[in-house]
Amino acid sequence: MKRTRVKFLLDWLTSSNRKPLVVRGARQVGKTWLVRDFAKNQGLKLVELNFEKNPSFSTLFSSNEPKEILLNLQAHFGYKIVPEESLLFLDEVQAAPTILATLRWFAEEMPEIPVIAAGSLLEFTLAKHEFSMPVGRISYMHLEPLSFEEFLVAIGEEELKKYLEEFHWEVKIPQAIHEKLIKAVKEYLIIGGMPAAVSSWVDRKDPSSVNQIHFDLLATYRDDFAKYSGRLSTDRLDDVLRAIPRQLGQKFVYSRVNSEISSAPIKQALELLSMAFLCHRVVATSGNGLPLGAETNERFTKVIMLDCGLASAALGLSLKQLLQVSEIDLVNDGGMAEQLTGQLLRTIYLPYATPAHYYWQRNGKSNAEIDYLIGHEALVVPIEVKAGKTGSLKSLHQFMSEKKKSIAVRINSDFPSKGPVCLKDTLGQPVDYQLFSIPFYLIGQLDRIIS
């Protein structure tokens, strides 16, 4: 499958100050496949070591001398390794974490050989490393499930993907194209972006086969629990993983996970699942300015899953059911619409930046909530996920009145539109801002079309 991260890899490969690259992301999002395919397409000899399958590979890196390590690799694999014509791939490196420290020596003494490290539970290693990390001598890249644009290419709709990438506000999208894109969004909501599920859908167009893959993936994640749970019961991790789809779009309440368990182990389980990228927290923030993470309130947190397809499977949603629903925001009381939006927002982050989600909530006599806040250039931009052509924007008006922001975004299933909003707040003061209404299928183009 074509992945947009290939461009980042190519820029990295040809950079004059290239450093070893660490690829981060959840298990089964396609890290290994991406590196293999990239090496093949660039005509590089792939020298691949999987430290989870072969723990003894770590002994080949006992020296801090890259030349000596290269000799060990040549002796083991039985062929000469030409640095400029090769790509050294250290897969599942979390199984041999001290090897990450040796990357500095490749950066300093043998920069001519491109080195990529990857691992599905790498965050635990990075958080608890007992060695000197090569700060400033390695680069990072995050890999998410397939974006909606990548999904379109996978299902043979590359022209639709190009259409989205070339969209501008002077274009009036024809009804037929709009309906086709909304149908594709609903398909993506059920199939999701996990490569195995998408591949099965492309090959067989059988929803039950995709559903089985989703449950197999969830079972695989549960099998992994023992690798990082420590003293925490794997039952708590399973409790939280099962509870997330049920609480989509709502404040995550620990007591609703398991009423018989105290909040401490539930909170710890959520932290571990977040580190494994199986879920992502959406944390409340005041939204006064950037960075959004500077004014958070961890007591108010919503949670989305790694992938909408996995969430749909856990909720028992089917493609047939969804195609009969007129508005995506009506599915699961809007929870799946927030899941979809949050997942796609992660794909527009810069490849080397750690994606993070925030929302705004005001408690008191007049409750208000904004589904997402993002930083766009130097601006804080609120995002409301709404059904239909209108939908109440009361919370959005309150936010814009209080924070004096200039632009806002509404995500729904309607045609794209933009225009000024002019009204008065409860004190009679004017509230003026620009509202961009964007259909779900344009979320991946958000930064470009609101600039």
Residue-wise pLDDT tens digits, 354-385: 999 999 998 766 788 999 999 999 999 999 99
Question: Do 158 and 133 have their domain in common?
Answer: no
pLDDT at 426: 74
pLDDT at 238: 96
Question: Do 27 and 128 have their domain in common?
Answer: yes
More confident residue, 324 or 443: 443
pLDDT band at 3 (very low <50, low <70, confident <90, very high): very high
pLDDT at 129: 60
CA 189 from centre of chain: 15
State which of 111, 142, 173 marks the end of a domain: 142
Residues contacting 399, CB < 8 A, separation 6+: 287, 360, 368, 370, 382, 405, 408
pLDDT band at 296 (very low <50, low <70, confident <90, very high): very high
pLDDT reading at 437 higher than 70: yes
Question: Do 127 and 188 have their domain in common?
Answer: no
Question: Do 155 and 194 have their domain in common?
Answer: yes
pLDDT at 130: 61
Question: Do 128 and 201 have their domain in common?
Answer: no
Question: Do 51 and 105 have their domain in common?
Answer: yes
What DSSP state is assigned to residue 429? -
Question: Do 256 and 370 have their domain in common?
Answer: yes
Residue carrying the six token digits 């979809």: 340
pLDDT at 324: 80
Question: Do 55 and 115 have their domain in common?
Answer: yes
pLDDT band at 227 (very low <50, low <70, confident <90, very high): confident
Mean pLDDT for the stretch of residues 138-147: 96
pLDDT at 322: 83
Most confident of 110-124, 217-231, 280-294: 280-294
State which of 97, 118, 142 marks the end of a domain: 142
Q: What is the pLDDT of residues 379-410, one digit of tens each?
A: 999 999 986 554 578 899 999 999 999 999 99
More confident residue, 38 or 102: 38
Range of the domain at 115: 5-142
The count of domains in the chain is 2
Mean pLDDT for the stretch of residues 265-269: 95
Q: Which amino acid does the sequence have at 447?
A: D
Question: Do 83 and 184 have their domain in common?
Answer: no
Question: Do 216 and 337 have their domain in common?
Answer: yes
pLDDT reading at 31 higher than 90: yes
State which of 91, 110, 142 marks the end of a domain: 142
**Which CATH number characterizes residue 68's domain?**
3.40.50.300
Q: What is the pTM of this model?
A: 0.94
Q: What is the pLDDT of residues 238-258, one digit of tens each?
A: 999 999 999 999 999 999 999
Query: What does the mean pLDDT of the chain come to?
Result: 93
How far apart CA 437 and CA 416 sit, in angstroms, is 5
Question: Do 312 and 219 have their domain in common?
Answer: yes
pLDDT at 323: 80
pLDDT at 256: 96
Q: What is the pLDDT of residues 32-56, one digit of tens each?
A: 999 999 999 999 999 999 999 999 9
How far apart CA 110 and CA 313 sit, in angstroms, is 47
Question: Do 162 and 284 have their domain in common?
Answer: yes
pLDDT band at 133 (very low <50, low <70, confident <90, very high): low
Q: Which amino acid does the sequence have at 269?
A: A
Helix, coil or strand: residue 416: coil
CA distances (Å), origin 118, targets 8, 13, 280, 451: 16, 16, 20, 34
